[in-house]
Amino acid sequence: MNQTIKHLGIIMDGNRRWAKSQGLPSFEGHRAGYKKVGELLEWCREAKIETLTLFAFSTENWQRAKDEVDFLMGLFYQVFNHDIKKLHENKVRVRLIGRKETLPDNLAKAIKAAEELTQDNIGYNLNLAINYGGRAELLDAFKKILKNPPEEITEETITNNLYTAGQSDPDLIIRTSGEQRLSGFLTWQSAYSELLFIQHHWPEFSQQDFNDALTNFANRHRRFGK
């Protein structure tokens, strides 16, 4: 079919399992996963993928050990406070999708500044799903549209009140580490997304894996319910 991807979603799974397999503490897995994102951004630019959405931290992940959560919050802060400079130079618009109000204050402020800095960038979009849950996103959308008369609420109304409002739905969603479920990732937006599950843990995800995924997608026939 030779179809191309405009919006790619990735569930970056397996950092801790990779670290364990290497005899390393879990935070080293997260550090390796963070470095992998930098490589991925280059691959996406080369492939002319306009929007990339990465599932980084779910609303359930707060249940993990405090030192692990603190380390992850530090990595996220580095993205929004330091890495944002290069992203802005490359004309990437960066957005957080998730509940900002319960994030640490310093991170929330860095996110706000990063979003304002890059809001006029055109061509590439990077959505970071942090403190994100598909059900939470729908609940937040419903709270915004409850003021509308029921007969005026349409699918478009809901779409326009999601965290990803104004963006296309993902064409392909990849999940690493062998798990075959979406775990609430882009619940509404993924209705007609193609899915691909890869055995490699996220830090092991290679450019060959990426290219194979693009080829796999290009050869699929998307019916969109027809």
The domain that holds 16 is classified in CATH as 3.40.1180.10
Nearest to 222 by CA among 193, 186, 185, 197: 193
The whole-model pTM stands at 0.95
CA R_g for the chain: 17
List, in order, residues 6 or more apart from 57 with CB less than 8 Å away. 72, 76, 98, 129, 130, 131, 132
Residue 61 catalytic? yes
Greatest alpha-carbon span in the chain: 57
pLDDT reported for residue 1:
52
Options 2, 61, 125, 209, the catalytic residue: 61
Q: Does residue 1 lie in a domain region?
A: no
Q: Is 99 annotated as a binding residue?
A: no
Q: Which two tokens stand for residue 183?
A: 């775990």
Q: Tell me what the pLDDT averaged over the chain comes to.
A: 96
223 domain-assigned: no
**Residue at 225 is within a domain:** no
Q: Is 200 annotated as a binding residue?
A: no
Q: Is 187 annotated as belonging to a binding site?
A: no
Residue 224 maps to a domain: no
Mean pLDDT across the stretch 156-179? 97
Reply yes or no on whether the pLDDT at 8 is more than 80.
yes
Which residues form the domain of 103? 7-218
* pLDDT of the residue at 50: 98
Domain count, the chain: 1
pLDDT-based confidence at 224, cuts 50/70/90?
confident
The owner of tokens 């996406």 is 44
* pLDDT for 226 beyond 80: no
3-state DSSP call for residue 128? Answer: strand
Beta bridge pairs of residue 10: 54, 174
Q: Average pLDDT for residues 73-80, to the nearest whole number? A: 98
Q: Is 155 annotated as a binding residue?
A: no
209 in catalytic set: no
Q: Answer yes or no: is 15 a known binding residue.
A: yes
Q: How many CB atoms lie within 10 A of CB 20?
A: 14
**pLDDT band, residue 223 (cuts 50/70/90):** confident
Tell whether 77 is covered by a domain.
yes
The proportion of the chain whose per-residue pLDDT surpasses 90, expressed as a percent, equals 95
Catalytic-role residue among 13, 125, 131, 161: 13
Residue 217 pLDDT: 97
Residue 193 lies inside a defined structural domain of this protein: yes
The answer to whether residue 106 is domain-embedded is: yes
Average pLDDT rounded to a whole number, residues 182-202: 98
Domain membership of residue 118 (yes or no) is yes
